[in-house]
Structure 1
Amino acid sequence: MRIEDVQALASLAGRALLASLPAYDESSALALGERLRREGLDADFAAAAMTQARLRERATAKLGPDARRMLFTVDGLEQATRAAVADRRAALLAAALPPGAHVADLGCGIGADAVALARAGLRVLAVERDPVTAALAEANVRALGLADAVEVRTADATAVDLSGVAAAYLDPARRGEGRRTRDPEDWSPPWSHVLRTAERVGAVVAKLAPGIPHSLPPAGASTEWVSVDGDVVEAAVWFGRLARPAARSAVLLPSGETLDARDVPPPRAGAPRTWLYEPDGAVIRAGLVAEAAELVDGTLLDPTIAYVTADRLLSTPLMTAYAVLDGVPFSLRRVRDLLRAGGFGDLVVKKRGTAVVPESFRAQVLPGLPARGSGPTATVVLTRVMGQQSALLVEKV
């Protein structure tokens, strides 16, 4: 995409065209493109508009109704923060700062976080190095009626003047030459710059990939792993006066349930009990399985596997609960016999700590079930129990 394309799509004519397009449907896209060209629309402009219709359709699940008024690139949409996460972060920043404080969004992308910060009552300096992406961010804040609260500046985030800024938000790009980079110094801006910004500004939050090592954030910072509807979407490191008391936390959205790291002993491991709990991915990423197990007086199936088992049933967003119905040492024959005895006709396979491919295992088991396609669906968990490969027949609570 070129800046000229952004300007054309953001114009009155462009916005009117986008508003007139039906919801994107792959099966009718070709016919729609031909119709637009017959109506005299420039072919490139028509193609750009249809691309936006497709991206807006995809973006709605991530950004909500705002997506219908925004402009995107494929990469920009992929890297944009989900609305629920951006809104929560903006609310936390606004609560920690004076009303109307000036905040820098360094590496603002298409502007999703800048929008959330502005709506939280903050003034935003949104900095983006790529001119086209910066143009998209400016078009988006204007389309959402926030131009008075957000200044979009095309500049290098490492060189921008932060005088008068009360806090900074950074989202380092973690791709180089088309692939993800693991070295924090290859990020843009690099991790060392994030640390320098935290020392200079004081109140800083950095959005990172959820797979970061726990050793990356410095002492005094706090890190929270955030999941949305069970999908772990990011790790956020909070510095200075924004840091939480707990060094590590798991945050589950939309419930807002939070689990903090505490000084608890590692849980024991043992045989399956009445209930099996599968911690949310954010709990696992944050290294808080011991804290989750303590909630139910639970133990682990295996010291190295994040499955908790307990005799106590607790309804909590932090873990999904299953009733343990039966269990056998792992083998194709034993699992098939277990399902035959229960009259099951279909199978859901969950796994952790085993190399078995669920789809392949299911395809091998199903042909041997007499009630295939007509009996109830079984859920089987393939995992290790005290080092031994095992299969547990469970029922989700």
Structure 2
Amino acid sequence: MEMSELRALLTPEGLGLLDELGPIESTAEVARAVSRLRAAGHSPELVSAVVGQAHLRFRATTKFGAFAGRMLFTRAGLEQATRLAVAARHAQRIRSSGITRVSDLGCGIGGDALAFAGAGLDVLAVDADEVTSVIAAYNLAPFGDTAVVRHSTAENALDAPGEEHGAVWMDPARRTAGHSETRRVSSDDYSPSLDWAFDVAARMPTGIKLGPAHDRDALPSDGEAQWVSADGSVVELVVWSGALAREGVRRAALVIRGERSHELTAGADAEDAPVRELGAFLHEPDGAVIRARLIGDVARSLDAGMLDEHIAYLTSDAALTSPFVQSFRVRETMPATPKAINAVLKANGIGRLEIKKRGVDVDPAAFRKKLALRGDAEATLILVRVGDQRRAILADRVPAPA
């Protein structure tokens, strides 16, 4: 968003028009709204700003729920913003440590700062981009003097004389777009740089949010690394230091499903469980557990073994479930060929099929076209490499524990 668009938006006319529009879902609705507002005589800057915000408000409901209806966004800020349910847990950790003030250095649109202020913390929110800092100020305005927003770099804000910071929260932004989560990036690819951020973490209580696929070898050895998944997707890695890091915890997997959360912690990577033959159940560890390398601890809790030493699937005979895995009851196995699979699907009357894969070079969408799905039954097909063989496992999902 350009500053001229933001100025047009932050007027009684602009905000009133935005409220009248309500959330806009599709690109077709966007085009219609632009045409209608331009025909009504509104300026190009105002129309662009209002319609863009209405569309972003719709997209933001997945992260901010009903709060999105009174917030403003930038595209990049919304993409990087923490989900409110996750941010609330960040705030809870800071509050429970006894710290009452937090500096959000690189606050973006203010997603985490909202949770901090909502938890009763005093917040200094800082962003180097002027438009983004103005939007953060708007989003945090309901908290009054509890949440102060400044247009500044993280480095300058931290070094400002007379400022009390308490704890520091950072969500470093990528300097360039298009990075893959699986691509290794250097410290200088971030703003502020990770070298600077980790130096701050060594001196004061700090939380640093990173992509979940961040290079583990580049993490500080004396901090707590917590991988977080929300409703089945791994959304972040947070490095905690000082009073915000729990004693004896170096690896953690926080699994959030709806309003419930479960956490697995350890002092180091867990040793993998031994490999065993496929049993009555197959278990798929949550992505946060895999990233934290705590699969072995989950396996032992289920009396399970690894299906293959290089594949993140567990197997057991006991009908045990865990919040850290999705469990499947095995029906039968077969070679991972369309002919063999189709014979089993036909015999079981399978018309609806979920396809999962791990360790095999298969496009599930393309593979589905080779299958004959007829009948009223449903199942899950798991394509997996076991040793030097490609196997297909027909299974049924086991409901997750409450």
- Interval containing the TM-score (normalised by the shorter chain): over 0.9
For 1:190-339, what aligned pairs fall within 5 Å after superposition?
Answer: 190-200=193-203, 202-244=204-246, 245-254=248-257, 255-261=260-266, 265-339=271-345
Q: Do residues 182 (structure 1) and 185 (structure 2) align?
A: yes
Residue pair 2:34, 2:51 contacting (<8 A) in 1 also: yes
Q: Do residues 345 (structure 1) and 351 (structure 2) align?
A: yes
Distance 2:90 2:53 in 1: 27
1:154 corresponds to which of 113, 127, 151:
151
Most deviating of 292-301 and 21-30: 21-30
Q: State the AA in 2 paired with 1:380.
A: L
Most deviating of 54-63 and 310-319: 310-319
Identity between Structure 1 and Structure 2 (%) = 38
The aligned residue for residue 69 of structure 2 is: 68
Question: SS at the partner of 1:164?
Answer: coil
Distance 1:227 1:196 in 2: 27
Distance 1:92 1:204 in 2: 11
For 1:36-115, what aligned pairs fall within 5 Å after superposition?
Answer: 36-98=37-99, 101-115=100-114
Residue pair 2:4, 2:45 contacting (<8 A) in 1 also: no
The size of the alignment, in residue pairs, is 387
The alpha carbon displacement at 1:36 in A equals 2.1
Question: SS at the partner of 1:345?
Answer: strand
Question: SS at the partner of 1:147?
Answer: helix
Residue pair 1:301, 1:384 contacting (<8 A) in 2 also: no
Give the TM-score, by structure 2 length: 0.91
The superposition leaves residues 117-166 of structure 1 with CA deviations (integer Å, 9 ceiling, x where unpaired) of 11111111111111111111111112xx0231111111111222264211
The aligned residue for residue 122 of structure 1 is: 121
Gap regions ≥5 residues in structure 1: 367-371
Q: Do residues 20 (structure 1) and 46 (structure 2) align?
A: no
Question: SS at the partner of 2:143?
Answer: coil
Most deviating of 325-334 and 204-213: 325-334
Distance 2:229 2:352 in 1: 30
The alpha carbon displacement at 1:343 in A equals 2.3
Distance 1:301 1:389 in 2: 12
The alpha carbon displacement at 1:96 in A equals 0.8
Residue pair 2:346, 2:374 contacting (<8 A) in 1 also: no
Question: SS at the partner of 1:37?
Answer: helix
Distance 2:42 2:143 in 1: 30
Q: Do residues 364 (structure 1) and 366 (structure 2) align?
A: no
The alpha carbon displacement at 1:315 in A equals 3.0
Distance 1:30 1:235 in 2: 38
Q: State the AA in 1 paired with 2:14.
A: G
The alpha carbon displacement at 1:55 in A equals 0.4
For 1:377-388, what aligned pairs fall within 5 Å after superposition?
Answer: 377-388=378-389
Distance 1:44 1:159 in 2: 32
Distance 1:86 1:39 in 2: 40
The alpha carbon displacement at 1:177 in A equals 5.5
Q: State the AA in 1 paired with 2:34.
A: G
The alpha carbon displacement at 1:91 in A equals 1.2
Residue pair 1:257, 1:317 contacting (<8 A) in 2 also: yes
Most deviating of 220-229 and 345-354: 345-354
Distance 1:173 1:22 in 2: 30
Most deviating of 311-320 and 109-118: 311-320
Distance 2:336 2:264 in 1: 33
Across the aligned residues of Structure 1 and Structure 2, the Cα RMSD in angstroms comes to: 1.8
Residue pair 2:332, 2:394 contacting (<8 A) in 1 also: yes
Give the TM-score, by structure 1 length: 0.92
Residue pair 1:224, 1:248 contacting (<8 A) in 2 also: yes
Distance 2:212 2:337 in 1: 34
Most deviating of 159-168 and 103-112: 159-168
The alpha carbon displacement at 1:233 in A equals 0.3
Distance 1:261 1:312 in 2: 25
Q: State the AA in 2 paired with 1:47.
A: S
Gap regions ≥5 residues in structure 2: none
